[in-house]
């Protein structure tokens, strides 16, 4: 069984309890990958039983948890071919009423968590001379919107990090790519924000209505605008896509 499992490709995905993470895990399983589906509080019942699935705990803000999950995955499947840094938390609200504590909390998961997991998996991929790290950022990186300033900043940081890391690891046969998904109903963006979005309610009704009207009036970017905002994408080592379900083809 171990030899059979080792012949298949293996992906470790963070933040699999809901939304893109859960769907991505199911997507890879359906394509005959071994899947290490991680989340802070493991829930095996989220997925059908499979010998190719390992559901385990991983908190991206805790180094011990990160290394433990990676170790369990390698022990189970022999190797990890791809990492999908999907874990993240939302933040919706006016920047002026968002505390520094809340902003730091968002960066701990969305930015520093991605960096920590990438750093932990890099030696394994570098020594094997192959691997792919996929960092999930946000469509806000293409078209920023009001009321998500801190959240957008936490995702923008990962885009720059990914580009630089791609050069560092590329010489060892390891690819680094980004995915920029848009908002989807199943992501529970505000629910996963843990009350961090409540600061928006502290705005006066007039300010709140004006802000919402402004959000509604912003037209979606045209394909040409997206290209202009990514003038060097053709030369970048990273790949941008708006659909998380397109992960497997770029691994």
**Contact (CB, 8 A) for 35 and 25:** yes
207-246 pLDDT, tens digit each: 656 666 666 665 665 554 444 444 334 444 454 544 444 5
158-188 pLDDT, tens digit each: 999 999 999 999 999 999 999 988 766 555 5
Whole-number pLDDT of residue 7: 81
- The CATH code of the domain at 2-250 is 3.40.50.720
CB-based contacts of 90, cutoff 8 Å, min separation 6: 151, 189, 190, 192, 193, 196, 197
- Stated length of the chain: 251
10 forms beta bridges with 34
Burial (CB count within 10 angstroms: exposed 0-12, middle 13-18, buried 19+), residue 100: exposed
Helix (H), strand (E) at residue 10: strand 10-13
Please pick, among 4, 151, 156, 167, the residue that the annotation labels catalytic. Answer: 151
Give this prediction's pTM: 0.79
- What SS3 class is residue 127? helix
Q: How far apart are CA 87 and CA 96, in angstroms?
A: 26
Whole-number pLDDT of residue 225: 44
Q: Is 151 a catalytic residue?
A: yes
Write down the domain spans for the chain: 2-250
């Amino acid at each position: 069984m171990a030899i059979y499992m080792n012949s298949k490709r293996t992906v470790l995905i963070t933040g699999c309890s809901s939304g893109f993470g859960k769907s991505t895990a199911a997507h890879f399983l359906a394509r005959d990958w071994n899947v290490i589906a991680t989340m802070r509080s493991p829930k095996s019942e989220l997925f059908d039983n499979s010998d190719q699935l390992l559901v385990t705990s991983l908190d991206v803000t805790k180094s011990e948890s990160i290394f433990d999950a990676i170790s369990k995955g390698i022990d189970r499947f022999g190797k990890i071919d791809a990492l999908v840094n999907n874990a993240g938390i939302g933040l919706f609200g006016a920047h002026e009423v968002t505390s520094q504590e809340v902003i730091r909390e968002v960066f701990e998961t969305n930015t520093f968590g991605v960096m920590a997991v990438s750093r932990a998996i890099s030696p394994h991929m570098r020594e094997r001379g192959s691997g792919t790290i996929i960092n999930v950022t946000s469509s806000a990186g293409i078209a920023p919107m009001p009321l998500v300033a801190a959240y957008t900043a936490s995702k923008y940081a990962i885009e720059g990090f990914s580009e630089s890391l791609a050069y560092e690891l590329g010489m060892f046969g390891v690819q680094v790519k980004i995915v920029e998904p848009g908002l989807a109903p199943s992501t529970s963006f505000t629910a996963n924000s843990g009350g961090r979005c409540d600061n928006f309610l502290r705005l006066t009704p007039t300010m709140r209505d004006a802000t919402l009207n402004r959000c509604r009036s912003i037209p979606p970017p045209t394909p040409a605008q997206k290209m202009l905002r990514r003038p060097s994408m053709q030369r970048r080592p990273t790949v941008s896509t708006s659909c998380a379900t397109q992960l497997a083809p770029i691994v």
